[in-house]
Structure 1
């Protein structure tokens, strides 16, 4: 009679052999692929991306940096603080979050940004239950070891980031960019990845997708966020097809010669997409490699467009009184300062320093460029519009609010939070601390307090005018 334990062992060997035979035959599965631009979608392009000022007296842009679940939680805290901040605007008592026009996200920040763009008010506290307080990372690993997923990974067209995309598909409930346009009152979503070949930002916008003659509406949010979060080595690049070989309308990139290096580089990158023979496919990785704040392309495009006014749709109404930019930065410091030792840095230390040390320097440059650009915009608004059409009110103001994890006031707490790992999951206690820190840093920001005083002044002016009648 066969012993039970020997029978179990036999079954294990059979199952193991079946798994090996299964994996020995390569899968031919192909993941989702972007669709070409049709005759209808070809008319959207830049107009679809334009920030409309129709009947808007405040334009608000919020960018959420990369940094895994640490950035997701910190950015969520900032959004929640904006939601709880009540102001009187246009005679209505509203929360500042109601005035949000564009939300941008990179890597971990793109998860929060996309969730809010998709679900709006349900984000509070829905996002906590759906992502922040779930062990998303362990779930992803378990998902990867399922037999059908292991088999799919043998396909030359299917990579680890496609498994991440499948998990995110559940989080975003299958929503696409087209679904977002059908929800009035929601902010426009901007997700940034990195073009692996160019090393430059690749934004999921109509303007960018026009360059590869593709339809943004059909792109799943899960694909964009997975691409933005695809950390090299740990995750694989995600791929888009360049449909420009057979495009009904090729974008016009002919511009006058400029002495601005940033504009020349931007045009050079853009033109590379128009040659589908040379670049039939575009491979995307983590957006933080090119721009961890999701702001650089916005600033470069404004420069290429000819300034702030040209970047905003011209309505001639002269209605925008406040332009608000909230830049959220949850970058952490390198885990080990390699210059403190004469020992040869390990591979892990080198990768950590490259990702977080060099990334921090690039972020510092972007923040400096943002500050300089805002100053240039203020000077621009101080001058009369050349064509006489001005979407901004004569007394319009620009408010830049930087919300940095490094600005957490308590030293011990700050050091602790800056060392929270960049991963898809963090502990419940770390979630609590980071969400609270996001709220605190925003509300205590001198720049944010200045914005609130500015809005109070408008309210006082309106009340004074009403009293005079």
Structure 2
């Protein structure tokens, strides 16, 4: 009896200690993953102007360079990286003399995989050419995320309901790339403005991590982790949980810009009015206390709409240019880096009906592809028209639109190899090399890009 009693006591103590350990793991996990979305205490209309002055740098006010990076996992990140390399090796003439075109980029708008490249360059500048390949492009990020998912400590955290796969991914990205960087670190004079795009899961609206968006929510953008923004931008629905944002709207004295009331007063259903309605909805804190953000590719897989909306929403071209330090602009250059591949439909070769997953995948790929083509055309035509509106006899404003995509690869074998690269976060060194080299080649050989460089020489010749 005594032996059984001792054994029972040992078992009880083991169970007790085990329970304590589990509770400690859960509580330590909770303490670690609790996200403090810091509220903005007091809004001021001068905030946007102050940021504009901070990031102005020494870029030419006569040349506006806008670069968009599409989604597509490491494939997109590598292709975008190749474009940055080529821009670093391309020289243009400005009022400040000869300098790399890379240093003239005013804004980068990115989606999903492209956001890893844009944010890393925004934070660290030319350092990207020293260690980005080793730290990210050539890493098997996918397997390492799966390994983290297999760790028991993460099971407890994931079971809480407040910590999802996206939060786990954000922690990992912060460790390997971002080193606790926040948006305050992105706001520096020698860095372009970086717009990291995600999608509001409830409405399908594009959500750029911008001052306007965070001010409307009475959230402090400067303290927000870059890793979480990049994770939201690449949080593919179904594979990753959304990134959540707490809405503190109404607590900081925020006043919407004048164009919001102007757009809401109109009778027509326009894109401008739809955006104004979105902002108005966010101001209703009780109706939208939380926002759930997913992959930016759901709303715009090219990243181009940020540029379009920058000008279209204000409905005052000169005011917008002045607000981004380009009142004297003489030329606008947009470089759209698109790493999409051809949808694969092997099920279409058989009589059997496709599975539900195949149907959903096919619908998603077709919709994104068609929407992207429409976006490309809308943005191209809009900036064509806007450059004409800005031009007069004494001050002509020219515009070039450069598309960098796999379709521009002249070698058929390489082009087909690129189209075969899937959307993942694990590529071979050979695939990364091909993507980087192809991006450089397509940009260098682009007729539109060469036209821009020729115009630049002609404009700057004495």
CA deviation profile, 1:409-459 (whole Å, cap 9, x unmatched): 122221221121111121111000000111011111111000110111123
CA deviation profile, 1:240-298 (whole Å, cap 9, x unmatched): 00101423223243115344611111111121101000000000000000001112243
Aligned to 1:44: 47
Question: Quick one: distance in 2 between partners of 1:432 and 1:304?
Answer: 40
Normalising to structure 2: TM-score of the pair? 0.88
Shift of 1:42: 6.5
Map 1:320-331 → 2, pairs under 5 A: 320-331=329-340
With over 3 angstroms needed to count, the CA separation of the structure-2 counterparts of 1:345 and 1:324, relative to structure 1, is: same
Bigger CA drift: 254-263 or 275-284? 254-263
Could you say what secondary structure the match of 1:372 adopts? helix
Query: Which of 136, 161, 183 is matched with 1:177 structurally?
Result: 183
CA deviation profile, 1:90-110 (whole Å, cap 9, x unmatched): 252211001111111100000
C-alpha contact (below 8 Å) 1:34/1:214 kept by paired residues = yes
Aligned to 1:405: 406
Bigger CA drift: 370-379 or 41-50? 41-50
> Aligned pair 1:308/2:325, yes or no?
no
Aligned to 2:6: none
Query: Which of 33, 37, 43 is matched with 2:36 structurally?
Result: 33
> Aligned pair 1:419/2:420, yes or no?
yes
With over 3 angstroms needed to count, the CA separation of the structure-2 counterparts of 1:362 and 1:246, relative to structure 1, is: same
Query: Which of 163, 170, 190 is matched with 1:165 structurally?
Result: 170
Question: Quick one: distance in 2 between partners of 1:89 and 1:244?
Answer: 43
Shift of 1:317: 8.4
Query: Which of 246, 249, 261 is matched with 1:254 structurally?
Result: 261
CA deviation profile, 1:193-243 (whole Å, cap 9, x unmatched): 000000110010001111211111011110100000000111000100010
Could you say what secondary structure the match of 2:219 adopts? coil
Question: Quick one: distance in 1 between partners of 2:327 and 2:299?
Answer: 35
With over 3 angstroms needed to count, the CA separation of the structure-2 counterparts of 1:47 and 1:202, relative to structure 1, is: farther
Question: Quick one: distance in 1 between partners of 2:92 and 2:226?
Answer: 32
> Aligned pair 1:369/2:378, yes or no?
yes
Question: Quick one: distance in 1 between partners of 2:280 and 2:202?
Answer: 14
Shift of 1:325: 1.0
With over 3 angstroms needed to count, the CA separation of the structure-2 counterparts of 1:450 and 1:116, relative to structure 1, is: same
Q: CA RMSD in A?
A: 2.8
Could you say what secondary structure the match of 2:261 adopts? coil
Q: Unaligned 5+ residue runs, structure 2?
A: 1-13
Query: Which of 73, 87, 103 is matched with 1:82 structurally?
Result: 87
Bigger CA drift: 309-318 or 67-76? 309-318
Shift of 1:149: 2.1
Map 1:204-243 → 2, pairs under 5 A: 204-243=209-248
Bigger CA drift: 224-233 or 407-416? 407-416
Q: How many residues align?
A: 438
With over 3 angstroms needed to count, the CA separation of the structure-2 counterparts of 1:402 and 1:260, relative to structure 1, is: farther
Q: Unaligned 5+ residue runs, structure 1?
A: 1-13, 385-392, 463-469
Bigger CA drift: 394-403 or 360-369? 394-403
CA deviation profile, 1:369-414 (whole Å, cap 9, x unmatched): 0111012112211358xxxxxxxx8133222111112221122221
Aligned to 1:457: 458
Shift of 1:339: 4.2
Bigger CA drift: 125-134 or 312-321? 312-321
CA deviation profile, 1:79-120 (whole Å, cap 9, x unmatched): 110001122322522110011111111000000000000110
With over 3 angstroms needed to count, the CA separation of the structure-2 counterparts of 1:316 and 1:149, relative to structure 1, is: closer
> Aligned pair 1:344/2:349, yes or no?
no
C-alpha contact (below 8 Å) 1:245/1:277 kept by paired residues = no
